[in-house]
Structure 1
Amino acid sequence: MSAQTQTKNTPARQAARNALFAAGLQAPQPNAYPTHAAYAQAFEAYQASTMQPLREQLAAA
Protein backbone atom coordinates (compact mmCIF):
# COMPACT_ATOMS: atom_id res chain seq x y z
CA MET A 1 0.00 0.00 0.00
CA SER A 2 1.12 3.50 -0.78
CA ALA A 3 1.40 6.21 1.85
CA GLN A 4 -0.27 8.64 -0.55
CA THR A 5 -3.87 9.63 -0.02
CA GLN A 6 -6.16 7.82 -2.40
CA THR A 7 -8.97 9.89 -3.92
CA LYS A 8 -12.13 8.25 -5.15
CA ASN A 9 -13.25 8.94 -8.68
CA THR A 10 -16.94 9.44 -8.03
CA PRO A 11 -19.41 10.88 -10.54
CA ALA A 12 -19.71 14.03 -8.38
CA ARG A 13 -15.93 14.48 -8.32
CA GLN A 14 -15.68 13.95 -12.08
CA ALA A 15 -18.49 16.46 -12.68
CA ALA A 16 -16.70 19.00 -10.47
CA ARG A 17 -13.45 18.43 -12.39
CA ASN A 18 -15.25 18.85 -15.70
CA ALA A 19 -16.91 22.09 -14.54
CA LEU A 20 -13.58 23.49 -13.36
CA PHE A 21 -11.88 22.60 -16.63
CA ALA A 22 -14.71 24.09 -18.72
CA ALA A 23 -14.65 27.30 -16.67
CA GLY A 24 -10.90 27.56 -17.20
CA LEU A 25 -11.46 27.53 -20.95
CA GLN A 26 -13.83 30.47 -20.57
CA ALA A 27 -11.44 32.63 -18.55
CA PRO A 28 -10.81 36.17 -19.75
CA GLN A 29 -8.18 36.41 -22.48
CA PRO A 30 -5.57 39.19 -22.54
CA ASN A 31 -6.26 40.19 -26.14
CA ALA A 32 -9.87 41.07 -25.23
CA TYR A 33 -8.80 44.02 -23.02
CA PRO A 34 -7.22 47.34 -23.99
CA THR A 35 -4.68 47.32 -21.15
CA HIS A 36 -2.98 44.77 -18.95
CA ALA A 37 -4.54 46.43 -15.91
CA ALA A 38 -8.04 45.91 -17.31
CA TYR A 39 -7.25 42.29 -18.12
CA ALA A 40 -5.75 41.68 -14.68
CA GLN A 41 -8.82 43.13 -13.00
CA ALA A 42 -11.18 40.99 -15.09
CA PHE A 43 -9.07 37.89 -14.49
CA GLU A 44 -8.97 38.44 -10.72
CA ALA A 45 -12.74 38.93 -10.66
CA TYR A 46 -13.25 35.73 -12.70
CA GLN A 47 -10.99 33.79 -10.36
CA ALA A 48 -12.90 34.99 -7.31
CA SER A 49 -16.43 34.67 -8.69
CA THR A 50 -16.14 31.56 -10.84
CA MET A 51 -13.00 29.52 -10.36
CA GLN A 52 -12.70 29.59 -6.55
CA PRO A 53 -16.23 28.29 -5.93
CA LEU A 54 -15.57 25.50 -8.43
CA ARG A 55 -12.27 24.63 -6.70
CA GLU A 56 -14.12 24.48 -3.39
CA GLN A 57 -16.79 22.27 -4.94
CA LEU A 58 -14.09 19.91 -6.23
CA ALA A 59 -12.39 19.80 -2.84
CA ALA A 60 -15.71 18.91 -1.19
CA ALA A 61 -16.57 16.19 -3.73
Structure 2
Amino acid sequence: MSAQTQTHSKAKQAARNALFAAGLRAPQPNAYPTHAAYAQAFEAYQAGTMQPLRDKLAAA
Protein backbone atom coordinates (compact mmCIF):
# COMPACT_ATOMS: atom_id res chain seq x y z
CA MET A 1 0.00 0.00 0.00
CA SER A 2 1.40 3.38 -0.92
CA ALA A 3 1.92 6.21 1.57
CA GLN A 4 -0.69 8.29 -0.23
CA THR A 5 -3.31 5.53 0.10
CA GLN A 6 -2.51 5.05 3.78
CA THR A 7 -2.76 8.80 4.44
CA HIS A 8 -6.04 8.92 2.56
CA SER A 9 -7.40 6.01 4.60
CA LYS A 10 -6.31 7.62 7.86
CA ALA A 11 -7.92 10.92 6.86
CA LYS A 12 -11.14 9.18 5.88
CA GLN A 13 -11.20 7.20 9.14
CA ALA A 14 -10.56 10.34 11.17
CA ALA A 15 -13.43 12.07 9.36
CA ARG A 16 -15.71 9.08 10.05
CA ASN A 17 -14.73 9.11 13.71
CA ALA A 18 -15.43 12.84 14.02
CA LEU A 19 -18.83 12.43 12.36
CA PHE A 20 -19.74 9.53 14.63
CA ALA A 21 -18.65 11.41 17.75
CA ALA A 22 -20.64 14.47 16.71
CA GLY A 23 -23.70 12.27 16.20
CA LEU A 24 -23.40 11.10 19.78
CA ARG A 25 -23.38 14.74 20.95
CA ALA A 26 -26.48 15.71 18.94
CA PRO A 27 -29.32 17.42 20.80
CA GLN A 28 -31.59 15.03 22.66
CA PRO A 29 -35.37 15.45 22.75
CA ASN A 30 -35.62 15.26 26.53
CA ALA A 31 -33.42 18.35 26.87
CA TYR A 32 -36.06 20.62 25.28
CA PRO A 33 -39.47 21.70 26.59
CA THR A 34 -41.26 21.21 23.25
CA HIS A 35 -40.79 19.19 20.13
CA ALA A 36 -40.57 22.41 18.13
CA ALA A 37 -37.66 23.63 20.26
CA TYR A 38 -35.92 20.27 19.88
CA ALA A 39 -36.51 20.22 16.11
CA GLN A 40 -35.07 23.71 15.77
CA ALA A 41 -31.98 22.80 17.82
CA PHE A 42 -31.53 19.54 15.92
CA GLU A 43 -31.78 21.24 12.52
CA ALA A 44 -29.26 23.88 13.60
CA TYR A 45 -26.89 21.16 14.83
CA GLN A 46 -27.26 19.29 11.56
CA ALA A 47 -26.49 22.40 9.52
CA GLY A 48 -23.73 23.81 11.71
CA THR A 49 -21.96 20.67 12.88
CA MET A 50 -22.95 17.54 11.04
CA GLN A 51 -23.04 18.83 7.46
CA PRO A 52 -19.52 20.28 7.58
CA LEU A 53 -18.30 16.94 8.93
CA ARG A 54 -20.14 15.07 6.15
CA ASP A 55 -18.51 17.39 3.62
CA LYS A 56 -15.11 16.73 5.17
CA LEU A 57 -15.71 12.97 4.97
CA ALA A 58 -16.76 13.24 1.33
CA ALA A 59 -13.58 15.18 0.55
CA ALA A 60 -11.29 12.77 2.42
- Structure 1 residue 50: Cα displacement: 0.1
Give CA-to-partner distance per residue, 1:21-54, whole Å, 9 cap, x none: 0000000000000000000000000000000000
| Secondary structure, counterpart of 1:23 in structure 2 | helix
Amino acid of the structure 2 residue aligned with 1:37? A
Gaps of 5+ in 1: 1-7
2:38 maps to 39
| Secondary structure, counterpart of 2:16 in structure 1 | helix
Gaps of 5+ in 2: 1-5
Runs of 4+ residues deviating >2 angstroms? none
Q: Using structure 1 for the length normalisation, give the TM-score.
A: 0.85
What is the distance in 2 between the residues matched to 1:49 and 1:23?
A: 11
What is the distance in 1 between the residues matched to 2:53 and 2:28?
A: 19
Identity between Structure 1 and Structure 2 (%): 83
How many positions carry a matched residue from both structures?
A: 54
1:25 maps to 24
